[in-house]
Amino acid sequence: MKPLTHILSTEQFTRTTLEQLFTDVAAIEKLVNEKGGDDRLKHKVVATLFYEPSTRTSSSFIAATQRLGGTVIAINDTKTTSHAKGESLQDTIRTLEQYVDCIVLRHPEIGAVRQASEVANIPVISAGDGGGEHPTQALLDLYTTKREVGRLDNLTVAFGTDLLHSRTVRSFAYMLSKFKNNHLIFVSPKELQIGEDVKTYLKKQNTTFEETDDMESALKKADVIYWNRIQKERFTGNVPAQKFVIKTTHLDLLKPDAVILNPLPRIDEIETGVDRDLRAAYFRQMRYGLYVRMALLDNVINRRTK
Ligand code: NCD
């Protein structure tokens, strides 16, 4: 596998590079569980620069760096940086790259992370660009699926609920289309249906999909249920979505070996009572995210080749 430079899009990955990456992730999973980590990022510094709120993505990148012996400059509140004085994103990147070995960047504008990477002389990892993509989340969603379901081909995956604005839905759908015979079911209110860009992409990849507002029939068929909240910050108005809440009363409909994923935060799209069901894998999913981000940081900072 060629060393990864910037991580900006799911487009950068092929089935083969994903399989290679997941071999590294599995080794890291073992390492963390046996020893907590190692020193392969000793004397390396990572900046986490978040222009949008984050709990999991920022904390897991920080923990990932520290578990590999590196240190972090964590900027979670850009109101306290020169951004508040009017400094451009590009100049902030040019500044941080003087001090660190890699920048993890989240920004509310689609394309902003790519633009930042164009002025950077060090690797930039996208932690999400607005309603665009969230490639590292998709990598951890895929790794979770592999670990929990045991395969990445021949899957029926049901997606809900705000398919129009969710960057994690887009990125995970793109990743699934790199594997064989996956069928995607998009479950949403009419106003929040999956975008034409995603449908065009899936058709090009020969990945089959259907759109429905019948959540119960989708839940019955799915091997993976991928539920994400309504992205209220990305549009004005209110779309009633009560009909798309997964409740404990739905659990009997699910296949016995199905898994429920959610990139989180969970607002009200999954009842908290569902958490007790072993098929609810969203808390385990976060842990897999730590391993995936450790493997990615090792790869981009140490320029690993195979
Ligand atoms: C997601 C995101 O930021 O897009 N969260 C995350 O990174 N785990 C999902 C969301 O905010 O709904």
147 lines ligand 1 (CB under 6 A): no
Using DSSP's 3-state secondary structure scheme, residue 226 falls into strand
CA of 41 to the centre of ligand 1 (A): 26
261 lines ligand 1 (CB under 6 A): no
What average pLDDT score do residues 277-289 get?
98
Token pair listed for 56: 């999991």
Distances (CA, A) of 128 to 13, 103, 204: 16, 13, 24
pLDDT over 70 at 3, yes or no: no
For 174-224, give the DSSP string.
Answer: HHHTTSSS-EEEEE--GGGPPPHHHHHHHHHTT-EEEEES-HHHHHHH-SE
CA of 168 to the centre of ligand 1 (A): 7
Distances (CA, A) of 113 to 34, 61, 175, 245: 35, 16, 19, 32
Using DSSP's 3-state secondary structure scheme, residue 102 falls into strand
The answer to whether the beta carbons of residues 109 and 128 sit under 8 Å apart is: no
The answer to whether the beta carbons of residues 121 and 97 sit under 8 Å apart is: yes
Tell me the pLDDT tens digit for each residue of 34-89: 999 999 999 999 999 999 999 999 999 999 999 999 999 999 988 889 999 999 99
pLDDT over 70 at 1, yes or no: no
| pLDDT for residue 145 | 98
CA of 264 to the centre of ligand 1 (A): 6
Tell me the pLDDT tens digit for each residue of 196-246: 999 999 999 999 999 999 999 999 999 999 999 999 999 999 999 999 999
Atom of ligand 1 nearest to the CA of 289: 8
Token pair listed for 214: 């019948």
CA atoms within 13 A on the CB side of 151: 12
| pLDDT for residue 306 | 47
Residue with tokens 């699934």: 176
For residue 124, which of 264, 1, 296, 295 has the smallest C-alpha distance?
A: 296
Q: How far apart are CA 38 and CA 27, in angstroms?
A: 12
114 lines ligand 1 (CB under 6 A): no
What average pLDDT score do residues 182-205 get?
97
CA of 306 to the centre of ligand 1 (A): 31
CA of 79 to the centre of ligand 1 (A): 21
Tell me the pLDDT tens digit for each residue of 63-77: 999 999 999 999 998
pLDDT averaged over every residue in the chain: 96
Query: Using omega within 30 degrees of 0 as the cis cutoff, is the peptide bond preceding 249 cis?
Result: no
| pLDDT for residue 303 | 83
Bridge-based pairing of strands 124-129 and 156-161 is: unpaired
Expressed in angstroms, the distance from the first to the final Cα of the chain is 5
pLDDT over 90 at 4, yes or no: no
pLDDT over 90 at 262, yes or no: yes
144 lines ligand 1 (CB under 6 A): no
What count of other Cβ atoms lies within 10 Å of the Cβ of residue 241? Answer: 18
| pLDDT for residue 304 | 66
pLDDT over 70 at 2, yes or no: no
Tell me the pLDDT tens digit for each residue of 86-124: 999 999 999 999 999 999 999 999 999 999 999 999 999
| pLDDT for residue 129 | 97
Atom of ligand 1 nearest to the CA of 231: 12
CA of 265 to the centre of ligand 1 (A): 7
Instruction: List the residue whose alpha carbon is closest to atom 1 of ligand 1.
Output: 263
The answer to whether the beta carbons of residues 183 and 209 sit under 8 Å apart is: yes
